[in-house]
A and B are shown apart, each in its own frame.
Chain A
């Protein structure tokens, strides 16, 4: 029993996407974000990849559902669960081999959800200074939370500048008259992000 568990842990430890995979899947995530931007939606691209196959992808659905928790990652996680149930696969053993590719750092809520589902690796573009759960506001990804799933590894900074530019464009067009104050605050934080990342 003990050795079995040890072996399992080791395989999770070794599970990490290659440079080539990161390049390829992040390009897909950026295409999604661009498409969202062209449709006037929050430009965040998000993909869940299992054995070189997309098993979940999401876009922000907060407005149409009136549910503020419908971030792209939560939508994508629902698709992963559906896929597991349809394929009669064990959720935990699938999730342990999934990498999330997302253009912006997941927020605190989404980071906790990723932990609860034992997703081991998250590859993201730019930091999320307002809500980030992988170190920007709180570090949920590596916090000592024994009852909140498993910690995950973050690979950050991939095409960060581009991700920020898209968010800036979005908040500019969303908010030409400064109607929604939190959006102008967001623009301010994004500019700060840009500044601190020395890009």
Chain B
């Protein structure tokens, strides 16, 4: 652990990036809409008013009705209606697109098809891509923008995160040395900056004792519960809750409840079982080093963003990614030695 601590360049060797929901990370989907040039700029506000009331664009509240044009003979273009709302026809004229007697098409040119973003952008990258197609409005979540730039955490926070993940890496190595998969996990109370539990994979002894399941039980033990004894593995340890309880907590009489408010640092993305165990345990946030093939916090599922579940949490990947990646090669050696 001493190796990582305090050396200032280390925290620049990795970036923690948020693992966002599918809606937040998917590509921009486009939908076809008829647009028309506005030939007479003075007609603009009347046209927009009439079109907005008589031809509202269903589900496209996020796209702006008009866009300015450069390098074109006309100054502006306006969206008329969704292509899917118009019956198939051979020649499309502006008159045929507008409800008869409703919109006065003075000042409008002949229609053409454009592609506009089908959904409101949720992140700045989505917004920037969407805007290349048509001007789009965007209600920015500043924290997500900063997180996607990898700049959410201060230097102090990164140093703490670095130290916690370094403990997880050390535990992983100890586990690897004992013949387990080299995977380690640490549970931290971010309010007190205290480590509650450290553990590693113990699946040689019990096939379901993945590192996350081990630390969840160690947290239970720290609160006077727990099921298993990991005493034969000195790298698996916990700090009992009573010894870390702050004065404020004692005064309020608030007892720690499972993993509520705690952060988990784990060297590798958790599997489905472990990810759902974290939902049941009401974990605060999860930080992992590297993705795994069947991982359930980003790779195969994103259980932390699943709308139907009663608890959701933030997940960040990439903490100490190089050191966590190195553990995989240790695992390959272990498997080879076991003849797998």
Q: Measuring CB to CB, which residues of chain A are less than 8 angstroms from any residue of chain B?
A: 61, 64-70, 74, 77-78, 81, 91, 107-109, 111-113, 115-117, 129-131, 133, 137-138, 140, 143, 145-148, 182, 185
Question: Which chain A residue shows the least CB distance to B225?
Answer: A66
B280 touching A66 by the CB < 8 A rule?
Answer: no
Chain B residue total in the interface (Cβ 8 A): 33
Give B191-237 interface residues, CB cut-off 8 Å to A: 206-208, 213, 216-217, 220, 223-227
Q: A67-B217, A109-B276 are in contact. List 9 more A-B contacts (CB 8 A).
A: A67-B220, A68-B258, A74-B208, A109-B280, A111-B272, A115-B272, A116-B273, A140-B272, A146-B294
B272 touching A112 by the CB < 8 A rule?
Answer: yes
Contact partner of B273 (CB less than 8 A), chosen from A67, A91, A112, A185, is A112
Comparing B2-10, B243-251, B301-309, the segment that makes contact with chain A is: B301-309
Question: Least Cβ distance of B339 to chain A in Å?
Answer: 15
B258 touching A148 by the CB < 8 A rule?
Answer: no
Cα(A81)–Cα(B207), bound, Å: 9
Known: A145-B294, A146-B294. A112 touches B271 (CB 8 A): yes
B309 touching A131 by the CB < 8 A rule?
Answer: yes
Chain B residues lying within 8 Å of A109, measured Cβ to Cβ, are: 272-273, 276-277, 279-280
B225 touching A77 by the CB < 8 A rule?
Answer: no
Q: What 9 A-B pairs have minimum CB-CB distances, sorted nearest first? A: A66-B225, A109-B276, A112-B273, A112-B272, A67-B220, A68-B280, A108-B276, A147-B294, A66-B220
Cα(A66)–Cα(B282), bound, Å: 12
B281 interfacial by beta-carbon distance below 8 Å: yes
Chain A residues lying within 8 Å of B292, measured Cβ to Cβ, are: 147
B271 touching A108 by the CB < 8 A rule?
Answer: no
B282 touching A68 by the CB < 8 A rule?
Answer: yes
Contact partner of A66 (CB less than 8 A), chosen from B226, B279, B293, B310, is B226
B271 touching A69 by the CB < 8 A rule?
Answer: no
